[in-house]
Every structure is written in structure tokens, then in C-alpha cells.
A and B are shown apart, each in its own frame.
Chain A
């Protein structure tokens, strides 16, 4: 493990030299700290650890070094919901991919060798020589899924938004009347007014719906 990390550090230093980046004491400390930590780090946490080693460095420098590392595919930024950036090792030995929940912003790592093989195969088949790759799957995590349904009532749609009808709950007569006006599942509507009566635009027509009824129409 330590050998691998040492190799990683060496690898980074090579890149730095090639790019003409000064191999200062500060840079080395930052690089070492990052490579030897085994968790994903925020910039603040990184800075703290560097300073704990008695090296004085600024936030600016740390950010510059890290963004360089990212640029050359040696580290990667993982976006977090609260606006902070998490820096992650770009593991040379084992690559992993990410599942990102769009609601709670939680990042889950995963590794699937079949996927890795497939990615390699794709590149090879096209005569491409990959340095690195990334895959992020955006969606809803298991905790968030029950709290949001992907469809919501028409009354909760903002003015100007375009949505598709998902489902209409109600009796035959009600559903039939809406259908005669063209409001069938999958039809696209734009919300024109959403205070008092809900007014939707369907093609060139405008249809006013009572609020009670609009609440029974689910859209996505």
C-alpha cells in the first residue's frame, strides 16, 4: 500500500516537472498529504492536515495544486450539494464509479469489473487509448425515492413550465371530458396561470381548470 502511494506521489511529481510547475516544499507537502490520506478530502481538511505538518501554505496554493491534479486526471472533483468540493484520489489500482442522488446529493462509490472491461473494450474497438474515465449516474437514492414521487399535481407546477400529463384520477365522466379536450396522458402542456383557476396551454388552446380538479391531475 505504501509502495503504491509512494509510486503515486512519484508519478505526480513527474507530471509536475514536465509541466514546468515548481517543485516547491509547499507543493510537495500538499501532494504528499493528499496521496497519503485514504478518504476523499475537502480543500479545508487538506489544508488543515498540511498545516499540521508544520508547512505554511495558503488556500490559494492548495486549490491551484489540486485543480492541476484534476486537470491531468490524477485527482477528481466530486461535486457536493452544499457547494464545497470533495477531492478524490484517482486510484491507479482500482477505479470506481459514482452514484449521485440529485435530492440529498449523497455520493456512493461502486466498482464493477464487468463495466470496467466493457469500457476498455469500447475504447479498444475504436482504437482509442484511454488515460482515465469517469462515470456518474444521477438519480434518486433509496431513501429519497419514497419522499418524492417523480410526478406531482398540476397545482404545484410553476408558471411557464412545460410538463407532461402522467395520470388523472377521477371518474369516467371526468377523465372523458378532459380527454375530449385533448388532456390525455403524455400530452404536453404549459402552465399559464396557477393562482385561482389553473390555466394550461395545450397547443394553441387555453384550458381553465378548477383547483380541486387540477390537484387530481399528476404531471411529470
Chain B
């Protein structure tokens, strides 16, 4: 077993570099600890929503460069969910120099159960006894020193929320990195019969299987006995004569006979016994635990009659918060953008440059930045729901309903996150154990209206509707309704079969910290701003270019509308126009805006802004909302049809990339594109034509 990176051998006092894997159980405050370390000394790589498999950050501490990789939270190291496989594969393939196992000190048994699995894998481990304050408040006293002696690995109390103990943790990492000797090897004692069977299988693996070299043979053997699916499949590939399979079956039979328990359960139960015994030696309870406030709250939050209405109310409040509170700051930003464009118009000479800056850049990017407050508030609300622990309750409350439509209780979390942004939402589906459940969830997640679509609604609602909130809520409800219909459809046609059971840990309610909520919201908002500065800026310029060139011939003295029809955008738009006419969107500008929206949904807004400004012959660049309002093409009915179409049509490019990665096949991406666009068209058609029949056009 190696204690540190090979390079560390050379280090005494000079700089060295270690890779540290941050592992832990869900709800142990692992992410908080990660953020705490990374934001202390900045330099964060791979933010969620971009390319992440795993996040990592590099910090310098006492001359040691420490790269910390944040692994997904897991309860064990089996292959029950994709998260567990990701965590395990990282440690097997990349061999980090150290594993920091973050565990909830108020729930030590659970945490140690996971931590010793890292030890079994032959990795050096440091224990971070996180949320130590809560454990103390519960009257638990943990003898960390004794724990260190018993397991031979450092155990440190931390309170990541307050940043306590983090420096000591980094000190310890640096110490181990510079130390020459390795940490002692750990082996949990088992009954002779079990040891014997493991040894038999391990020997066989060493002789005949290449995997025996990559994984510690004992560990691999015990995992195979536990019935680990992913590893069994891997072993099977090289197990030509079936000798290993025969041995697994024989050992399994013998142990079942001896203990009257399947090895899958037996080995886990023994691990629990070991941990329980360990806890008995190090944990003392000072006083009796008071009745938990969490349980009392849950009597209401999980009540069969009140639970669901409460969940709906909470969801409504989230949107009310994001939309209502955002109005004022939105107005300020709008004013600033207006001032900017007025100033630019004044200082720049009339002509191409002025048009590019005012109409293309300020119009396009400004049109999107206006919605920053909404995005920020929406993500703040989502962070509160997640950090407080209410999200898990939502999943428990929704399980019955979800299972009726072919989804799973845990699907609720990705779907809810989908209201913020589809990209992390699609990734959050990883916690679902069954592939079928995951795929259905991933495919319907884009129907959850994300924050980027909000600008489109807000723009059109404020231009054409007096009372905005009900209209907005109706769009969100339509998205949910369509997701339900689609889930039923997918379940019936594509993914048939038994539903998988629902198991979810319900964390205690915790008061979200301002720091945590703001950090989360800010990360997201920053991403949005970055997108505005890059993708949206580029697309705004592109749309401006396409709608400005080629110019009409000099001699043709024509109005702005005709001059636009010469441009590439005008021609493309006219090409699509007939297709969009039945859904009430027979305007070439709509076609261009919708196509540009493939890149990101908020680009629909920036494109409209650019297109309307280009068409405007007046010097003054007016607010887009007014321009739309004045355009005779628009009315409330086709504005609504447009919103419906934007809600449902093709998810944005980043979402599709993530969808490809998470599903592992372009096939699902193709299905998603075809399905969502068809659905969008059909629903918009029903809305528009139905509305016309009902005489809503007046």
C-alpha cells in the first residue's frame, strides 16, 4: 500500500503533489467541505453543468499541492448505483494517494461502514468526522484518538459549515504526503469459514484472472461473493472455462449452509457487526437524546393528506419568490442596458459599427442579462430546498404518485432540479438504481421548464398579459403534465418491466447557511453570465450578421422590412415560415429565433432583440417588450403558442451533450430531439387552433 505519490519520495521540504479523493455518505456535508476547501483558496476546475464526472480543485497547503477530487456520495462501494461505480472506478483506476472519508459524526456507524470499505480496497484513509457540532449537541462523545488507534488511520472532527477543523485536515494531508512510511494495512477480522472461502476464490483469481492484479484479490473475491453485478460481469469476460463462476457458486452454497444467510447479506452483516463493535468502544452517550424536531416536522410534511398540498404550495412559493422578487432588480438592469445603448448610439457614428454594437451586442446580451435576478433567486430557492433536506421529503411524498405514472420517487429530485437547469438535473438522475428508471427520468427531465426558458416567458408575458403569475404557472404545469404523459408513454412502449423499490435516506432538517445558498446560487449565476459573455455574445453577433448581410442592392430604395428579406436570416426564416404558420407563428423572425435557441433557450430572447433592433429604422433602440407589443404579428394567443413551443422543443445543446454522456448513446438523443419537437408542434397547434376556434383572437 502506498502512502503517497511516488514523487513524494523525493520530497522532504520541497513542494510535492498529492491527489486526494473526497468520499463520503450522502448528507454528510461532503460538498460543503469541498466548497469550503476550494473557496478558501480558489482555483476550481470542472464546475457542475459543464463537463463534470467529478469535480476537482487544487489547493496549496504548506508547500504541498493538494488536488482534491470530489466523488459522488455513496453508502457503500458496491455497484448498486452509477454513483457507486463512478466512485469505485476512480479509486481503482486512478489510485488516489489518499482518501478523505467524510462522515456524519452524529451517525457514525453508517459512516464507518462506508469508510472501512475504502480501507478494504487497500487505500490510505483519513476520517473527517463532520457535523461534529450536531453530534455533540445530541450528547454523543466520540473518542477520535481511540478511533485512530483502533483503525490505524487519522480521525479528525470537522464542522465544514463553519469551516472548523478544515485547516487541521489539510495539515494532516500534507503531513502524510511528506511522510515516508505508509499507513498500516487494515483487515477486518472475519470468521475462519468466510476467510477460507475468500482466500480460495482470491487464489483462483490471482492465478487466472487479469483483474486480480488490478484490484486487491481479497477485495475482489469478497465483492464477487457479495454478488456485485458489475464486477461479476467483468470477471465473466475472462473466465473462459467457468472455473471462477463455479468457485463462487460453491463458496456461496457453503456459506449459505453454514450461516443460513446469503453471502450478500452475510458479508455486509459482518461489516456492520464490526462497525457496531467499534462504535461501542469509542462512542459514549452523555445524556438521553431529546425527541427529534425533525420527526415532529415530518409528521406534517409527510402526512398523507397534508404532504402533497404542502409540496405543491412550496413549489408555487419558489416560483413566486423567483418571479416576484426579481421584478425590481430586473427593472434596474433594464435601465442600465438602456443607458448603455443610448450612450453607445450617441458616441458611435451611424453605420455598421454602431448597428453591431447597439443592436447586435448590447441588444442581444443585454436582453439576456436582464433575467439574471430571476435566475439567481430561482437557484437560491432550489438551494434552500436541497440544503434544508426538504427535497428528500418531496421524493418520499411523491413516490406513490410517481410510481403510478411509471417514474420513481427518486425521479422527483432530478425533475425538481430541472426547474433550475436541466444539465445538473439529468446528472442527478444517477441516484436512480435501475437503468430503465434512469432513462425515463432523463428523457422527461427537459420538459421541466428550466431557468433559461424563463426569460422567454417573462418577455412575452409582460408584453401581452396583464396578470403574469397565473400564465407563467400554467406553462410550468403544462410542462409537468407533458412529462407525466410522456413518462407513461415511454414506460408503456420503450421501457417495460417491473418498477424498482424506493429506498431513500431522509436527512434531518438542517437550517441552510447563507454561505451555502449564496455560493450555490452565485456559481449558477456566474455560469449564466459567462454564457451571456461567450455563447450568447457570439450568437448575437452571428444573428446580427446573418440578418444584416447580404445587403439589398444600393439602387433599391426599400423599407427595412424588405431589406431584411435579402439577408440570410430573412431567407432562412421565410423558408420555415410556412411550417410555423399553423401554430400561429408565421413570421420569419420567429423561425430564426427558434433555430438560434438550439444553442441555449435564452438566445431566443437575444435573437428577437437583435432582429427587432435591426428592423427598426429609428435611431432609438427601444425595449424589446415594447417593440413586440407594437408588432401587429403578435397577439396573446400566438404569444402563448410560442411559449408552449419553447417549453417543449429540443433541449439546449449542453443538455443534449449531457444526455448523450449519461445515457451512453446518441440513439436517446435522437429520440429526445424527434419526440420533443413533434410534441412541441402538436401541443402548440392544439393551443393555437383550439384558441382560434374558441374565438380567443376576437
Measured CA separation A173–B434 after assembly (Å): 10
Contact residues of A between 188 and 220, Cβ < 8 Å to B? 192-193, 195-197, 199, 201, 203-213, 216
| Cross-chain contact B502 with A209 (CB below 8 angstroms) | yes
| Cross-chain contact A197 with B109 (CB below 8 angstroms) | no
Contact residues of B between 59 and 82, Cβ < 8 Å to A? 75-76, 78, 80
| Cross-chain contact A208 with B392 (CB below 8 angstroms) | yes
Minimal Cβ-Cβ distance residue in B for A206: B506
Measured CA separation A52–B397 after assembly (Å): 67
| Cross-chain contact B505 with A210 (CB below 8 angstroms) | no
Partner of A181 from B299, B307, B505 at Cβ < 8 Å: B505
Residues of B within 8 A of A (CB): 75-76, 78, 80, 106-107, 109-110, 113, 138, 226-227, 229, 261-262, 264-265, 268-269, 272, 294-295, 298-299, 302-304, 307, 392, 395-397, 399-400, 403, 409, 433, 499, 501-508
| Cross-chain contact B400 with A211 (CB below 8 angstroms) | yes
Name the A residues within 8 Å of B76 (CB-CB). 180
Partner of A204 from B107, B264, B433 at Cβ < 8 Å: B107
Contact residues of A between 139 and 185, Cβ < 8 Å to B? 168, 170, 172-182, 184-185
| Cross-chain contact A213 with B109 (CB below 8 angstroms) | no
Minimal Cβ-Cβ distance residue in B for A180: B76
| Cross-chain contact A213 with B264 (CB below 8 angstroms) | no
Name the B residues within 8 Å of A193 (CB-CB). 298-299, 302
| Cross-chain contact A175 with B264 (CB below 8 angstroms) | yes
Measured CA separation A208–B410 after assembly (Å): 11
| Cross-chain contact A207 with B506 (CB below 8 angstroms) | yes
| Cross-chain contact A210 with B501 (CB below 8 angstroms) | yes
**Known pairs A197-B400, A204-B138. 13 more at Cβ < 8 A?**
A176-B264, A176-B265, A176-B268, A177-B80, A179-B264, A182-B109, A182-B113, A192-B298, A203-B107, A203-B109, A208-B504, A209-B502, A210-B409
| Cross-chain contact A196 with B302 (CB below 8 angstroms) | yes
| Cross-chain contact B307 with A196 (CB below 8 angstroms) | yes
Name the B residues within 8 Å of A182 (CB-CB). 109-110, 113, 272
| Cross-chain contact A184 with B502 (CB below 8 angstroms) | no
CB of A76, distance to nearest CB on chain B (Å):
41
Name the A residues within 8 Å of B227 (CB-CB). 172-173, 176
CB of B492, distance to nearest CB on chain A (Å):
20
CB of B136, distance to nearest CB on chain A (Å):
13
Name the B residues within 8 Å of A179 (CB-CB). 264-265, 268-269, 272
| Cross-chain contact A175 with B265 (CB below 8 angstroms) | yes
Instruction: Map CB proximity to B onto A75-101 as digits: 1 under 8 Å, 0 otherwise.
Output: 000000000000000000000000000
| Cross-chain contact B113 with A210 (CB below 8 angstroms) | no
| A to B CB contacts below 8 Å, 12 in the list | A175-B264, A177-B433, A178-B503, A180-B76, A185-B261, A192-B295, A193-B299, A203-B110, A206-B508, A207-B506, A208-B506, A210-B503
Question: Which 6 interchain pairs have the tightest Cβ spacing?
Answer: A210-B502, A213-B501, A179-B268, A180-B76, A206-B506, A195-B304
CB of B300, distance to nearest CB on chain A (Å):
11
Tell me whether A209 and B226 are in contact in the complex, defined as CB-CB below 8 angstroms, given that A175-B262, A182-B113, A185-B261 are known contacts. no
Measured CA separation A170–B113 after assembly (Å): 22
Partner of B268 from A180, A196, A206 at Cβ < 8 Å: A180
Name the B residues within 8 Å of A180 (CB-CB). 75-76, 78, 80, 113, 268
| Cross-chain contact B302 with A197 (CB below 8 angstroms) | yes
| Cross-chain contact A177 with B109 (CB below 8 angstroms) | no
Name the B residues within 8 Å of A211 (CB-CB). 400
Measured CA separation A78–B76 after assembly (Å): 55
Name the A residues within 8 Å of B229 (CB-CB). 173
Name the A residues within 8 Å of B396 (CB-CB). 196-197, 199, 208
Name the B residues within 8 Å of A205 (CB-CB). 107, 110, 505-506
Minimal Cβ-Cβ distance residue in A for B299: A193
| Cross-chain contact B298 with A196 (CB below 8 angstroms) | no
Measured CA separation A206–B299 after assembly (Å): 13
Measured CA separation A174–B268 after assembly (Å): 13
Minimal Cβ-Cβ distance residue in B for A197: B396
Name the A residues within 8 Å of B75 (CB-CB). 177, 180-181
Minimal Cβ-Cβ distance residue in B for A207: B505
Contact residues of A between 47 and 78, Cβ < 8 Å to B? none
Minimal Cβ-Cβ distance residue in B for A170: B501
Name the A residues within 8 Å of B113 (CB-CB). 180, 182
| Cross-chain contact A206 with B265 (CB below 8 angstroms) | no
| Cross-chain contact A185 with B298 (CB below 8 angstroms) | no
Measured CA separation A170–B500 after assembly (Å): 11
Measured CA separation A170–B227 after assembly (Å): 14
CB of B130, distance to nearest CB on chain A (Å):
14
CB of A187, distance to nearest CB on chain B (Å):
8
Measured CA separation A193–B292 after assembly (Å): 14
Name the B residues within 8 Å of A207 (CB-CB). 503-506
| Cross-chain contact A181 with B503 (CB below 8 angstroms) | yes
Measured CA separation A201–B397 after assembly (Å): 17
Name the A residues within 8 Å of B395 (CB-CB). 208
Name the A residues within 8 Å of B264 (CB-CB). 172, 175-176, 179
Minimal Cβ-Cβ distance residue in A for B502: A210
Measured CA separation A216–B397 after assembly (Å): 20
CB of B137, distance to nearest CB on chain A (Å):
12
Name the B residues within 8 Å of A201 (CB-CB). 295
Partner of A197 from B106, B409, B499 at Cβ < 8 Å: B409
Name the A residues within 8 Å of B508 (CB-CB). 204, 206
Measured CA separation A178–B106 after assembly (Å): 20
Measured CA separation A196–B508 after assembly (Å): 19
Measured CA separation A196–B503 after assembly (Å): 13
CB of A4, distance to nearest CB on chain B (Å):
54
Measured CA separation A203–B295 after assembly (Å): 13
Minimal Cβ-Cβ distance residue in B for A209: B503
| Cross-chain contact A199 with B506 (CB below 8 angstroms) | yes
| Cross-chain contact A197 with B397 (CB below 8 angstroms) | yes
| Cross-chain contact A206 with B294 (CB below 8 angstroms) | yes
| Cross-chain contact B397 with A196 (CB below 8 angstroms) | yes
Measured CA separation A208–B502 after assembly (Å): 8
| Cross-chain contact B265 with A185 (CB below 8 angstroms) | yes
Name the B residues within 8 Å of A206 (CB-CB). 294-295, 298, 505-508
| Cross-chain contact A184 with B409 (CB below 8 angstroms) | no
Measured CA separation A195–B501 after assembly (Å): 16
Tell me whether A197 and B502 are in contact in the complex, defined as CB-CB below 8 angstroms, given that A185-B261, A210-B403 are known contacts. yes
Tell me whether A184 and B298 are in contact in the complex, defined as CB-CB below 8 angstroms, given that A175-B264, A197-B396, A199-B506 are known contacts. no
CB of A214, distance to nearest CB on chain B (Å):
9
CB of A208, distance to nearest CB on chain B (Å):
4
Measured CA separation A178–B264 after assembly (Å): 11
Partner of B503 from A185, A203, A208 at Cβ < 8 Å: A208
CB of B287, distance to nearest CB on chain A (Å):
15
Minimal Cβ-Cβ distance residue in B for A210: B502
B295, B503, B504: residue with the most chain A Cβ atoms closer than 10 Å: B503
CB of B366, distance to nearest CB on chain A (Å):
46
Measured CA separation A177–B499 after assembly (Å): 16
Measured CA separation A197–B397 after assembly (Å): 7
Name the A residues within 8 Å of B507 (CB-CB). 206
Name the A residues within 8 Å of B303 (CB-CB). 195
Name the B residues within 8 Å of A184 (CB-CB). 265, 268-269, 272
| Cross-chain contact A196 with B399 (CB below 8 angstroms) | yes
Name the A residues within 8 Å of B501 (CB-CB). 170, 174, 209-210, 212-213, 216
Name the A residues within 8 Å of B295 (CB-CB). 192, 201, 206
CB of A46, distance to nearest CB on chain B (Å):
51
Name the A residues within 8 Å of B304 (CB-CB). 195-196
Name the B residues within 8 Å of A174 (CB-CB). 501
| Cross-chain contact B409 with A199 (CB below 8 angstroms) | no
Minimal Cβ-Cβ distance residue in A for B504: A208
Measured CA separation A204–B142 after assembly (Å): 15
| Cross-chain contact B110 with A173 (CB below 8 angstroms) | no
Measured CA separation A216–B501 after assembly (Å): 10
Measured CA separation A174–B498 after assembly (Å): 13
CB of B87, distance to nearest CB on chain A (Å):
13
Measured CA separation A201–B508 after assembly (Å): 11
